[in-house]
Amino acid sequence: MPPTILALHNELVQGHTTSVALTEAALARIDDAGGEGPRAFTKVYRDQALASARASDLLRAAGLARSPLDGLPISIKDLFDVAGETTLAGSRVLEGAAPAREHALIVQRLINAGAVVVGRTNMSEFAFSGVGLNPHYGTPSSPWDRATGRIPGGSSSGAGVSVADGMAVAAIGTDTGGSVRIPSAFCALAGFKPTAARIPTRGALPLSWTLDSIGPLAASVQCCAILDAVLAAEPYQALAAPPVKGLRLASVSDIALQGADDHVAGTYRETLRTLQRQGAQVDEIDLPEFRQLPHINRLGGLTGAESWAWHRGLLADRADAYDPRVSTRIARGKNMSAADYIDVQRARPHWIAGVENRLRGYDALLMPTVPVTAPPIADLLASDDTYFAANGLILRNPTYINFLDGCALSIPCHAPGSAPVGLMIAGCAHHDRRILETGLALEAALAAGRA
């Protein structure tokens, strides 16, 4: 498990390490010829990062610390604007486009907090895949079973690998249908998708204006809470975990485990038993709304319509420069009428109200983040059918929470040494702190259960 933000912050405060030392170590891992750095990053800010680290050390020596992030190496996804650079979003299509005039708002907030931005991380082109393959910049492999080479999850693929491999202490990604939680699950990290409206998306290249969320990938729930506070420009307040005994948790194993492999299904069921042994009430509930969502989105949904609106001019001019597996999905939106789009928008509030009513009285909704372990990269490269089947299955569970306009954590729940499995801990809109605090309690309970 990577070190936590608070552990490294304390090391810095006590003088046991320096920001320069941490940054040099992160950059060395990025540069390692035998590592995943060349595929995990699309750009490295070596000189700027070291200058920021030196400034952090000087300020700390003067008794000035801007936040718990001050001096820590952080990576950012390749769809956030950096002043003076063209934002490529994991693509070649935008090469030659005008550079950004200013930093994305969340990038500026990280800098203001003293974070050392070490580079931009690779991603599924234009964030439109839960798998993480990228034909333009290569695909980093997840940390488990490197001999085989398994997908890192997407779309924030490089983000997850950057943290898992010590190339950054934490990463900032985006989540439109699971793109923070999926790589967190495959890379054995904690990842948090906040209520979308909490984190401004100004300066982030959009996939779906309605569904896009910005969130962290890191070593622990507490790390995610620290990063979330910075991104939201809120004061950080330490989480207070409630007692596990007495928590009311809902599970939707029926639909969430459809198509699951034996390892994920067995791990999830054992996770529920562990929480019950520690006193949590876990109820299996029915959410018929989840079964309705494929029909609501059958023509492409909000993502199809909104991505087509953004890309239609580029596709008319440069379709051959796109990953065809991405352009094919974007093009679904071409056939959606204004009425089709309005139908989805009108259905959504009623769908949300139905789910919220069924979750009333529960502290969180549980399900596997992803119902399968990370498949081999080679298998998905070799077959479009295999790719699209895997992509749909991998995105399914997280997508429910985006359509809900909810918030959700993914935390590791697998036994040490086995393939990573993520436990999703989800709630309704603006229940972010409750989900983070419940997640902190469940994280500790699972650690105790494995001890």
Position 451 confidence tier, pLDDT thresholds 50, 70, 90: low
Q: Which of 308, 390, 310, 305 is nearest to 133 (CA)?
A: 390
Q: Which of 129, 107, 92, 15 is nearest to 52 (CA)?
A: 107
Q: Is residue 328 part of a domain?
A: no
Q: Indicate if 192 and 68 belong to the same structural domain.
A: yes
Q: Is residue 320 part of a domain?
A: no
Q: Indicate if 194 and 253 belong to the same structural domain.
A: no
Distance between CA atoms of 143 and 20, rounded to whole angstroms?
Answer: 26
Q: Indicate if 219 and 259 belong to the same structural domain.
A: no
- What single letter denotes the amino acid at residue 172? I
Q: How many other C-beta atoms lie within 10 A of the C-beta of residue 294?
A: 12
Q: What's the whole-number mean pLDDT along residues 361-369?
A: 98
Q: Indicate if 283 and 142 belong to the same structural domain.
A: no
pTM to 2 decimal places: 0.98
Q: Indicate if 290 and 154 belong to the same structural domain.
A: no
Q: Is residue 311 part of a domain?
A: no
Which domain CATH number covers 347? Answer: 3.90.1300.10
Q: Is residue 42 scored above 70 in pLDDT? A: yes
Q: Is residue 360 part of a domain?
A: yes
Instruction: Let me know if 43 is a catalytic residue.
Output: no
Q: Indicate if 227 and 261 belong to the same structural domain.
A: no
From the candidates 56, 67, 75, 77, which is the catalytic residue?
A: 77
Distance between CA atoms of 343 and 176, rounded to whole angstroms?
Answer: 20
Give the domain-ending residue among 231, 262, 278: 231
In this prediction, residue 379 carries a pLDDT of 98
Q: What's the whole-number mean pLDDT along residues 209-222?
A: 98
- 46-to-217, 291, 393 alpha-carbon distances in Å: 21, 48, 38
Phi/psi of residue 103, each to 5°? -65, 150
Q: In total, how many domains does the chain have? A: 2
Distance between CA atoms of 356 and 263, rounded to whole angstroms?
Answer: 30
Q: Is residue 261 scored above 70 in pLDDT? A: yes
Instruction: Let me know if 334 is a catalytic residue.
Output: no
From the candidates 162, 179, 208, 307, which is the catalytic residue?
A: 179
Strand order in the sheet with 422-427: 41-44, 116-121, 73-77, 170-175, 213-218, 190-193, 407-412, 422-427, 364-368, 248-251, 281-284
The pLDDT tens digits for 412-437 are 999 999 999 999 999 999 999 999 99
The pLDDT tens digits for 154-169 are 999 999 999 999 999 9
Position 388 confidence tier, pLDDT thresholds 50, 70, 90: very high
Q: Indicate if 278 and 409 belong to the same structural domain.
A: yes
Element (H, E) at 217: strand 213-218
Q: Indicate if 41 and 82 belong to the same structural domain.
A: yes
Q: Indicate if 139 and 203 belong to the same structural domain.
A: yes
Q: Indicate if 290 and 160 belong to the same structural domain.
A: no
Q: Is residue 449 scored above 90 in pLDDT? A: no
Q: Supply the mean pLDDT for the chain.
A: 97
From the candidates 155, 208, 251, 410, which is the catalytic residue?
A: 155
Q: Indicate if 226 and 361 belong to the same structural domain.
A: no
Q: Is residue 338 part of a domain?
A: no
b or e along 343-373 (b: 16 or more beta carbons within 10 Å of the residue's beta carbon)? ebeebbeebbeebbebbeebbbbbbbbbbbb
Q: Which of 260, 280, 261 is nearest to 272 (CA)?
A: 280
| Those residues with Cβ within 8 angstroms of residue 347's Cβ, 6 or more apart along the chain or in another chain | 296
Q: Indicate if 173 and 269 belong to the same structural domain.
A: no
Instruction: Let me know if 155 is a catalytic residue.
Output: yes
Angle between helices 301-318 and 338-359 (to 10 degrees): 140
Q: What's the whole-number mean pLDDT along residues 338-361?
A: 98
Q: Is residue 238 part of a domain?
A: no
Phi/psi of residue 411, each to 5°? -130, 150
Q: Is residue 273 part of a domain?
A: yes
Residue 21 near residue 12, CB atoms below 8 Å? no
- Token pair of 37, please? 């750095």
Domain that holds residue 265: 248-302+343-450
Q: Is residue 335 part of a domain?
A: no
Distance between CA atoms of 257 and 304, rounded to whole angstroms?
Answer: 26
